[in-house]
Amino acid sequence: MCGIIGIITKDKKVSYELFNSLLDLQHRGQDTAGIFTTDQDKAYMYKSKGLVSEVFCESNLKELKGNMGIGQVRYPTTKGKQDAQPFYADMSGIGLAHNGNLYNDSLIRDQLKEKRIYCDSDCDAETILKVFAYYFNQETGSVIEKCFACAKKTMSVLNGSYSVVSVIRDEGMFIFRDPSGIRPFCMGKKYKDNEVQCYAFSSETIAIENMVDSFEWIKPGEGIFIDKNLSITRHIITQKKKQHCMFEWVYFSRATSIIEGMSVNHVRGNLGKKLAELYHASPLFDRLSQNHHKIIVAPIPETARPASVVFARHISHEHKDVIEKNRFIGRIFIKPNETLREHEISSNVKAIEEVIKDKIVFLVDDSIVRGTTSRGIVQKLKSKGAKEVHFFSTCPPLINPCHYGVDLPTRKELIAYGKQLKEIEDYIGADSITYMSIEKLVDAIGLPQKDLCLACLNGNYPTDLFQREVRL
């Protein structure tokens, strides 16, 4: 999972706005950050390992000149942990970044090698760039015609998810999204005197809301070209059925963002209401209905907070913060390995003893993935005197790997795969676990089930994982 940003204006320097937008997308990737810009004379790029505020400073932002540019924050799902985006192909003058994951990345790289085209990183954004540039240099016609033609050929080769922002030097910006629209992608416009002054593209609305007047969502399979005069050309290049990733609403996106027209905060509130429905229909409700004064509802910060507040209201119990997380450590789930995740839980997640002692704690979290975080937090609550800890997950059991940008690479890493509920409860130490159902998850999001990617829950993948090999 990553966060991308693209901005093009008529004459305004964009590096500072790119920087501020990347700060708003920091939750989507904490390993690397990068910005690529161009003006009439040169291309400029700066990228490195670290948080956005660590990578960029006044001096390097000042050097990133030009009125159009792209940026990216990376949470790696491939082995190239330090490969920062964007990437640049000088023979075609194209800079590119993307959010997503290519399932057939190694196969494409083998075909590129046959043509003596090499990738020097382990990042699949470079693969997309090399394929796109390969076709771009073969095409004839105008730059706009070349972009759409080579994007169609590129998309026929790629298998996976990709929301792509690219800069075509001296010409403009070109955007395209995978045919199923798996990863989120929005566009905003800024007007002055009824004329567009700026186009901005991003993974989430939160990153561009302060610089635009209106939003819309880029369609699955759509390509958009914005020239340097801000004239826009857009076409559906190739399209399949919509398959938007449900985990964007459950976990990844900021609560203040809007994804595919659905408020993330509102969806998470709906998830809390659905959890309340499950609880009221459960044997747990019958057993604990006489212990009303002992029960408190608490979120695992921060993603689960909207759901836990609504859940507490619907079951008529007090809502309390019982966990304090060091806000400077970032998101535990997207730490690059298990050792780091366990260390962050043990040293940077604290339980508030005076609130939980002798209480029955209803602990609400967005999901249970590997179980490491859940187990560590349950242990902390019980060590501080919680009488019982009952775990409520706004996401159904995750039982399949994700091949589209979420770091769920193998089934054996998923605590719910192949286990009975009692086994999971014993592993994390909870007195009970209540999982969201798929049906109620879909109802909470508010989109038709056919428009959602639920592969990690039901194994129905948006793309053919055993597709026929397509040659470059």
Amino acid in the structure at residue 472 = L
C-alpha separations of 33 from 65, 76, 99, 105, 180 in Å: 17, 11, 13, 22, 26
Q: Which residues pair with 70 in a beta bridge?
A: 6, 36
Reference 10, options 195, 185, 186; nearest CA is 195
C-alpha 225/C-alpha 232 separation (Å) is: 6
DSSP 350-395: EE-HHHHTTPEEEEEES--SSSHHHHHHHHHHHHTT-SEEEEEESS
C-beta of residue 153 within 8 angstroms of C-beta of residue 223: no
Please tell me the number of Cα atoms within 13 Å of 427 on its side-chain side. Answer: 18
DSSP 146-182: HHHHHHHHHHHH--EEEEEEEEETTTEEEEEE-TT--
Q: Does the annotation count 147 as an active-site position?
A: no
- At residue 315, the 3 state secondary structure works out as helix
C-alpha 315/C-alpha 180 separation (Å) is: 38
C-alpha 128/C-alpha 88 separation (Å) is: 11
Answer positive or negative: Cα dihedral of 448, 451, 455, 461: positive
C-alpha 361/C-alpha 94 separation (Å) is: 54
Six-digit token string for 290: 């006489």
33-65: buried (b, 16+ CB within 10 Å) or exposed (e) per residue? bbbbbbbeeebbbbbeeebbeebbeeeebeebb
C-alpha 431/C-alpha 361 separation (Å) is: 10
Reference 295, options 315, 271, 275, 269; nearest CA is 315
DSSP 442-455: HHHHTS-GGGEE-H
Instruction: Given the residues 2, 119, 123, 456, select the one marked as catalytic.
Output: 2
C-alpha 406/C-alpha 401 separation (Å) is: 9
C-alpha 401/C-alpha 263 separation (Å) is: 26
Catalytic residues, by residue number, are: 2
